[in-house]
Structure formats: C-alpha cells, structure tokens
Amino acid sequence: TTTGGNDATTRFPLKQLIIELVRSPSFDFVCGVLVIANAAVMCWQVDWHARHMSDDTPGFFRVFDVCFCVLFVAELGLRMFGFGREFLQRPHLWWHVFDMLLVGMQVSEQILLLLQSDSADLSVMQTMRMLRMCRALRMVRMVRLIPELHLLITSILGSLRSVFWAVVLLFTFILMIALYFTQIVFDVRMQRADQIKDETLAEFWGTLGDSVVSLYQSITGGVDWSDAMSPLRDEVSIFLVPVFMLFITFCLLCVINVFTGVFVEAALVQGNVDKAVSLAGRISKLCTKGDESNDGYIDVDEFKRICKTEEMNTILKDIDLDMSEADLLFELVDIDGAE
C-alpha cells in the first residue's frame, strides 16, 4: 500500500522540521490564538475611536498592528516554505490564497500608514479603514482551525440546496394565500371605501407585496399574527379568521418542522462525509509515519504495528473494527495487491 513517501524531505532536516511544525495541531492552535487576539485588538481599537470621536490612533495600537502584521507574514512564510509546491495545491489551495490576500492587505495598510502625512486626504483614510475592516475576515480562518466550527459550516453548506427548495415551497404557499387575501381586501376597499376606518387594513393587505410580507412576518415573529388578522376580522369578514388561523397552524406545525427535518438530515449526511474524510486523513498520516523503510509503501507487518498504536485503536473503534480485523482492513485499502 502506497503512502506517498517523503525521501526528499528527510535529506533536509530543517525543511522536515518546518513541515512537521506547520502541519502540527499546536501550530494551528497558536495561529488560532493570534487570530482571536488580532480580532480582539481590532474591536478594542474601533470601540476606542467610537467612544473618543477621534481619528488619531494611540501609539500602542500601532505597535499591536505592526506586531500582528509581522507575525502573520512569518506564519505565511513558514507555510509557504514548509508546504513547497503543495502550498497552491488542493485541498488547502483556497485557504492559502485567502491567507495571502489578507496578509497582502495588512502589509498594504502598514505601508500606507508609513507613507501618509499629517494632512492625508480623505480617500487615503477611507482606504486604510477599508483595509483594516477586511482584516476582520481573518476570523473565517477559525472555521479551518477548529474542527467543530468546520463541521457546522460544512453541514450548513451541504444542506443549502435542500433548504433552498424548502424556502421556495414556503414562499409559493405564502404567495397563494397572499393573492387570496389581497383580492378580497381590494374588493372590500372598492365597495366600501368610505366605511373602512382601520388604516392598518391597507398597511397589512393593501398590495400583494404587503400581504406577502405580513404573512411572512406572522409566521416568523416579525409582527404578532393577531395584529395582522384583526383588520381582516373587523373590516372584511369574520370568516377570514379560520383561514388565517389554518395558515398559521399549517406553517408552524407542518412546514417549519419539515424544514427542520430536511436541514438536520442534510447536516447529518454532510457530517458523516466530513468525518469519513477526517478519518481517512488520520489513517494516511499514521501510515506515513509507520513507513519504516521510507519507500512510500507499507506491508502487512508494518500495518499491523501501526494498528497497535493508541491512535489507530481509537480510529478502529470509530469504524467498529478491532485488532483481530486488521488483516481485513489492510486488504480493503491495499489497492495494488502488494503484501
């Protein structure tokens, strides 16, 4: 079974050390702490300007900005050196491009700060503010650094298609009811325009758009549904009350629960896929470490030794296998049929 050997890196101890550093969980943890600290300082800085109504930035904020800029440039440099040509290859291509853009904007901001004069024009100040606000996007990196956040985001993204069609169904139903109410209210307003005293009738149901918004707000808490129903009851007909109540009941007890079920099912499926990918990555790393001959392959004896490690035992438990089934697992992953 091939492991993608790394003979080239073993000849360069420094590069091997950097590769192990940038791929270690500790390095990601430290980078995550830096991201959180940078975001905290940004919040502090924005709040200070808002409280003091001043464009003048205290010196200690400048020190923080320069320190974070140097640290993030160093992090990016270590990743580029450690990953080499893999830096711009999948699966982390877009994350690395994202990091380069953020670091580039942060360096540009520091250059502008160094070049600006006391009488810098408004456009330069606005540019620096925009660059500073873009740095807040670095918080998105926490999705990659924290597995739980990554699982939540991938689950949400994986369920978007199902949620989209569920929303289409909901608004189709809302549009049907809105057409019914709008037409009835229009007829009543045309026939008894002088007798209608409640102005909220036109506010809630005067146009098709108003009716759609009123129905949507009624089921989502934007307005109390009794407030939207009252002008229909008082100015149009008491028989519209059960129609409106049936709409609320159907949406809250049926449609919304179906939405929840669709989202949960899609999230579970995506979560299982993400877990499988994560387990495959962990097994690949263990096999690479267990390749004692450094030939890019592992035989069944090396695989059995890997299976005796504590981490591999944890993985085997996650997929409902035990040590006695190590041979079976080896046969499943042995794509070239080698022993």
The neighbour count for residue 19, using CB atoms within 10 Å, is: 19
pLDDT one-digit tens code per residue, 92-117: 777 778 888 888 888 887 887 777 65
Q: Is the pLDDT of residue 5 over 50?
A: no
The candidate with the shortest Cα–Cα distance to 198, out of 239, 159, 220, 231, is 231
Q: 2-16, 213-227, 299-313: which has the minimum mean pLDDT? A: 2-16
Give the confidence band of 303 by pLDDT, cuts at 50, 70, 90.
confident
pLDDT one-digit tens code per residue, 255-284: 888 878 877 787 777 777 777 777 777 777
Comparison of pLDDT for 8 and 33, the residue scoring more: 33
- pTM of this prediction exceeds 0.85: no
At 306 the pLDDT is 75
Q: 26-30, 75-79, 268-272, 322-326: which has the minimum mean pLDDT? A: 322-326
Give the confidence band of 183 by pLDDT, cuts at 50, 70, 90.
very high
Give CA separation, 91 vs 144, 220, 231, 277, in Å: 12, 39, 57, 11
Kindly tell me the burial class for residue 198, based on how many C-beta atoms sit within 10 Å of its own C-beta (0-12, 13-18, 19 or more).
middle
Average pLDDT over residues 20-40: 83
Q: What average pLDDT is seen over the chain?
A: 78
Is residue 182 within 8 Å of 208, Cβ to Cβ? yes
The candidate with the shortest Cα–Cα distance to 103, out of 72, 62, 141, is 72
Q: Is the pLDDT of residue 18 over 70?
A: yes
Is residue 236 within 8 Å of 201, Cβ to Cβ? yes
Average pLDDT over residues 152-172: 81
